[in-house]
Amino acid sequence: MHLEHLRRLNGPNVYVSRPVVIARLDLGELTERETTDVPGFAERLVCALPGLADHHCSAGRPGGLLTAMARGTYFGHVTEHVTLELSAMIGRDVCFGRTVWAGAPGRYDLILERPWDEPAETPLVGDLIDLAVRTVTGLVNDGEAGGALDAELAALASLHERTRLGVSTAALAHAARRRGVPVRRVGDLNLLQLGYGRHRRTVWAAMTDRTSAIGVEAAGDKMLTKRLLESAGLPVPEGLVVTTVEEAIAAYEEIGAPVVVKPLAGHHGESVWIELADAGEVAAAFSAASADGDAVLVETYVPGRDHRVLVVGDRVVAAAELSPARVTGDGVSTIADLVAAANTDPARGEGHGRPLTRLALGATELTHLARRGLNPSSVPNAGEVVTLRRNANLSTGGTSKDVTDHVHPDVVRLCRRVAATVGLDICGIDLRLPDIAAPLPPNAGASGVIEVNASPGLRMHLAPYEGRPRDVAAEIIDRLYPPGTSGRVPIVAVTGTNGKTTTVRMIAHLLAQDGRRIGMTSTEGVYVGGELIYRADASGPRSAAMVLADRTVDAAVLETARGGIVRRGLGYDRADVAVLTNITDDHLGVDDITTVDDLVEIKALVAEEIRRGGHLVLNADDPRTAALADRPRVRDREPVVRYFAMSAAEPRVERHLRAGGVAYFVEDGLLTEGTAEERLALLPAADVAGSFGGLARHVVGNALAAAAAARALGMRADLVARGLRSFEPHDLNPGRGCAFRIDDRPVVVDYAHNPAAVAAVGELMRRVWRRDGVAAVTLPGDRCDDLVIDTARAVARSFGRVVVYEDEDLRGRRPGEMSGLIRRGLVDARPDVHVHPAGDLKGAVGIALGVSAPGEPILLLYEKLQPVMDLLDTLGATLVPGAL
């Protein structure tokens, strides 16, 4: 058994609304074998991983996996559960898993949940699956789990700790999602993008994109902070900056004992030495504090208790009393034993990834103990508290006690002034006070502001060692997004088989009529405000994220194609409007898609991932698309369904209108918005730009879908009509039903590439010109043979003369292979068809012009638009405005 490859879906997908990884597993020698075929396997597995006994499996209760293994289950399923259990053992918070057959004996896909904000490219998940595979095969083959399981898990746990979000950043991400604010982690950094479009904000731990750079610099220079506060009349300890040991001793003598020595630009309490009472201690402290060559601050020691007060905006939102790292004796254990026992607490971890930091017995701690006549082998009395350090920082193993409810108004006013003086929107203020609940002492030196932190850690407030937790992350999110706001811009997601790109472009054009700046993704690229900012086939999650991260965007219209959904998931969460144009044969044989039902399952995701009460625009003329409204996951969203159809007489539309719904259709030649009680005429179908005077029924259908989406977002009817009239295809929809003229021959350029699309454009040609035409065609090579042949058949039903050429990009086909398949389909549907082979695009157009009669229309199907436009320009083709 081995892992073939991984695919990461970073957004909502067809399995769950959370990120997943899909692991393709080849069972190898375990193909068609079950757990009951290996005596004692289940017992050995549970012995190695006892937590598996609690796995529910499909039974929906603890012990479900044990029951399945006793009954007999395949090893892909077992590997799924082992991976989930290993994930739990390293603290990775996941629970969803599913194993599905991957189309061949012994091949399965493991769909495994990934934690929110886990870096997409971390090797962790692959390593976990590999370890699961080796564990299972080891127990099958020789009765051993394989390798040093504990050691490998420890290494994976360490990797997980290094790559997961820090406590503060994770709390902000959680608080934002709880409020409905979109969250995206940037790479493996503690940097979050919150919100969409013009509401996008950025946070890095507890620092926001509105945090003053000057405030950050001021807070990072302890002496500058001291001067700013002192000039504002705020209490700060006296201090001097020194750069040599002689200057440090001189400062100590000038200030007077006791003093504090610390790096001028230090953080997290590193190399801070307090309550120093002789020159020798000061000299030693200076050496430690200046080890990196930095300047050192010597200042008056302020007696009292250590406190951290968190200010958000102009509000004190939390306060904690801090205690230094310490252990409590039991009369038996040594200090080293007590430290080791304390570090077994799962709340303690390395760095800042856990609520508490692991205790250490390093040089600082040993020096501190020695001053008290102790060492790691000392045995404290029962109940005796032994501090390991003098400073009370969480980052050095300290603990916090919440005192928010006891902060005296004097202290509140002091902290608000401190934040305003330094110029920080979020700051942590370190105070030493006799009692935070009492008025500020009148005498100088009895209290003081020790430091101001520009990116304060939140963990002491989120999970205090004592007292009530404070949801300070929510306070920060509320400052960025006041209650009642969500940080979102309207999102319209469009999918389907045919008409996606045209409908996307139409909707974007309509929404721009009232001055909104629209971000749009399509197969031609990413557009913002009508300008191309990224040229590519941009109909997947990467391009969607690009638009939603643009701070100038007022609304997003996203073409959402099958490929992106399958390979990466959606690039957004919860669209406001979902539009599905139709679902028919296309892309069969690609990405394990074998039937139209497979396509339905994929494209249905766009309908399912809309906000509760959002709008769902469905093509009632296409039964598969219309039926999406009845899916359970769609109904759970309670959407407002807006059907569109070519006629109000369509049965589903009739029922919908009688039930009080709204629909869009053509009535008496007018695009109409209708309810059971009234009709609102939008514009004549003949006035829709690019519709060939209303003869292009598929373009009229696209216009109905676009109108439904725009009206769902509150667009006025007159603006919708104006937008549809001005949607000039040559400018706004190039390559889709665009008409040109070469000499006296009309040439229609279109991207039709499946049977339904070819039938629609063929019908258009007959309706407009009422005479035979010539088709010059190529088809994409990444479709299955049957689909290529069916599409060629559709061409033959409309055209008796067909020029066949191959695109430069064969998409994995052999030269001549596609031409052969197309010819086969043409002749199969119409034995008398005249097939003209051509070597390339230029040759195909030349032959089409040669075999056509004056005034006879030519249909040109293509794969890449730019070569077509270049060729038409060379041939002197002229535009036919309005597609006529």
* Separation of alpha carbons 875 and 294, rounded Å: 72
* Separation of alpha carbons 36 and 477, rounded Å: 53
Is it true that domain 238-300 has CATH number 3.30.1490.20?
A: yes
Query: Is residue 638 left, alpha or beta, with left meaning phi > 0 and alpha meaning psi from -120 to 50?
Result: left
Residue 248, phi then psi, degrees to nearest 5 = -65, -45
- Closest CA relative to residue 645, chosen from 692, 592, 687, 704: 704
One-letter amino acid identity for 535? R
Helix (H) or strand (E) holding 259: strand 259-263
pLDDT at residue 584 in the model: 85
SS3 419: helix
* Separation of alpha carbons 719 and 788, rounded Å: 41
* Separation of alpha carbons 264 and 290, rounded Å: 9
Size of the chain, expressed as the number of residues it contains: 884
Q: Cβ of 884: how many Cβ atoms within 10 Å?
A: 12
For residue 598, CA distances in Å to 24, 585, 602, 605 come to 19, 10, 7, 12
* Separation of alpha carbons 569 and 544, rounded Å: 11
pLDDT at residue 783 in the model: 82
pLDDT at residue 776 in the model: 97
For residue 30, CA distances in Å to 561, 665, 725 come to 37, 57, 63
pLDDT at residue 586 in the model: 66
* Separation of alpha carbons 321 and 400, rounded Å: 6
pTM: 0.89
Helix (H) or strand (E) holding 271: none
**Assigned token pair, 546:** 């690009």
Under a CB-based contact definition with an 8 Å cutoff, are residues 408 and 379 in contact? no
Under a CB-based contact definition with an 8 Å cutoff, are residues 128 and 85 in contact? no
Strand partners, 300: 259
pLDDT at residue 823 in the model: 96
pLDDT at residue 676 in the model: 92
- Give, in degrees to the nearest 5, the angle at Cα 719 between 713 and 725: 120
Domain extents for the chain?
A: 2-164, 176-213, 238-300, 491-730, 738-883
The residue assigned the tokens 């005296």 is 408
Beta sheet of 525-528, edge-to-edge order: 531-535, 525-528, 518-522, 555-559, 491-495, 575-580, 610-619, 640-644, 662-667, 670-674, 679-684
Q: Which stretches of the chain drop beneath a pLDDT of 50?
A: none
Quickly list DSSP for 813-878.
Answer: PPTTHHHHHHHHHHHHH-TT-EEEE-SSHHHHHHHHHHHSPTT--EEEE-S-HHHHHHHHHHTT-E
Give CATH superfamily name and number for 491-730: Mur-like, catalytic domain (3.40.1190.10)
Q: Cβ of 482: how many Cβ atoms within 10 Å?
A: 8
pLDDT at residue 587 in the model: 57
* Separation of alpha carbons 428 and 297, rounded Å: 20
The interaxial angle of helices 697-712 and 500-511, nearest 10 deg, is: 40
* Separation of alpha carbons 503 and 603, rounded Å: 16
* Separation of alpha carbons 579 and 585, rounded Å: 18
**Assigned token pair, 686:** 């003949």
Residue 504, phi then psi, degrees to nearest 5 = -60, -50
User: If you average pLDDT over every residue of the chain, what do you get?
Assistant: 92
- Closest CA relative to residue 580, chosen from 615, 612, 544, 619: 619
| CATH class of domain segment(s) 738-883 | alpha beta
Farthest-apart Cα atoms in the chain, separation = 109
- Decide the pairing of beta strands 296-300 and 259-263: antiparallel
Under a CB-based contact definition with an 8 Å cutoff, are residues 565 and 575 in contact? no
